[in-house]
Amino acid sequence: MINEVKKDRISYGELPNKYEAGTMATAQVIAFDQSIKFLESVGIENVMKHEAELVEYGQELLQKNNSVKLIGNPKNKGGVLSFTIEGIHPHDVATILDEDGVAIRAGHHCCQILHDKLNIPASSRASVGIYNTKDDLDKLNDAINNCKKIFNL
Amino acid sequence: MNLKELYQEIILEHGKNPRNLGKTDDFNKDAKGHNPLCGDNVHVFLKLNGQKIVEEISFEGSGCAISMASASIMTDLIKGKNEHEAKEIVEDFLGMIKENPELKSENLEEDEKTKLMCLSGVKQYPMRVKCATLSWHTLVSAFDNDKEYVKTEN
């Protein structure tokens, strides 16, 4: 926030006000309200059920895929599939998947210590949500096969 | 966008079997580079003679195919060049990755230029530029024997 603005000079408010500048996040507030309404209309249990089904389907699919190694298999697994592909670095995986329209996250995911413990430099992670379908996971699997093809594996 | 251009055979081959990987005996210059966002690490070792010619060059590190191939090709091309020539080649490479469609350097043979041009596909993938440039920035740092870590993020 400002204190005073003139043509040739400006002075800012005292802390913390000087860092509280800007337009109120009106669009975000409205969108957040709509997001809550949407989730409530679907039902949070249904969202969780949908994600659990997708993750189970994805796990089965990727387990069958040679050279894909899934990471982590806890009870009550959330909507994520972490994996590595033998012989291909996760950043290369992410770039190739991206070209096939599959967006994943690759790297150490702000979790370097875990990756050290797992003795891997990085991992790939696909997340599923209410908007995903089993068809998307088939596309993920196809894109992984394309990676292997590009890397001659 | 063209994946085939990014992952050419030569890139895949250098990525899989990097040249000059390891620590050079009797190196007299070195520097480390780190890419905090992806976790790529590289350590470049140089052995310069009295005429500032690179007698030996090697690197240690881990990373994606692009970063390993780029480091490998770099060591191949820099070996035998003097410091001035090497730095010009680095400038030329960085220029190519950013905008220049062609290499200007007079310090490279045609076949060396062809090899370096194989990395130009990275230009179409802004997210991957840092993978390709880390080892080159680290090389400059090694010449200057800068003990500070080179980072691709500031």
Helices assigned H by DSSP within chain B: 3-6, 9-16, 65-78, 83-98, 110-117, 129-143
**B63 to chain A: closest CA residue:** A89
CB B10 within 8 A of CB B132: no
**Residue A83 tokens, joined:** 């994996």
- The answer to whether A122 contacts B65, with C-beta atoms less than 8 Å apart, is no
**B61 to chain A: closest CA residue:** A121
> How far is Cα B44 from Cα B51, in angstroms, rounded to an integer?
20
Facing residue for B64 by CB, picked from A89, A99, A150? A89
Within an 8 Å CB–CB cutoff, is residue B64 touching chain A?
yes
B46 pLDDT higher than 90: yes
A22 pLDDT higher than 80: no
Within an 8 Å CB–CB cutoff, is residue A136 touching chain B?
no
For residue B115, count other CB atoms closer than 10 A to its CB: 16
**B13 to chain A: closest CA residue:** A151
If you average pLDDT over residues B130-153, what whole number do you get?
Answer: 84
- The answer to whether A89 contacts B128, with C-beta atoms less than 8 Å apart, is no
ipTM reported for the complex, 2 dp: 0.86
Facing residue for A91 by CB, picked from B1, B3, B38? B38
If you average pLDDT over residues B11-18, what whole number do you get?
Answer: 94
Q: Among positive and negative, which fits the CA dihedral A93, A95, A100, A102?
A: positive
B145 pLDDT higher than 90: no
Q: How far is B38 from chain A (nearest CA, A)?
A: 5
Within an 8 Å CB–CB cutoff, is residue A90 touching chain B?
yes
Residue B153: predicted pLDDT: 59
- The answer to whether B65 contacts A89, with C-beta atoms less than 8 Å apart, is yes
Q: How far is A2 from chain B (nearest CA, A)?
A: 28
Q: Among positive and negative, which fits the CA dihedral A44, A133, A84, A95?
A: negative
Residues from chain A that touch B125, judged by Cβ atoms under 8 A, are 95
> Parallel, antiparallel, or unpaired: how do β-strands A123-127 and B29-35 relate?
unpaired
pLDDT class of B24 with cuts at 50, 70, 90: very high
pTM, rounded to two decimals: 0.84
User: What's the mean per-residue pLDDT of chain B?
Assistant: 90
Q: Among positive and negative, which fits the CA dihedral B98, B103, B105, B108?
A: positive
Known active-site residue A147: no
Catalytic, out of A110, A117, A119, A131: A110
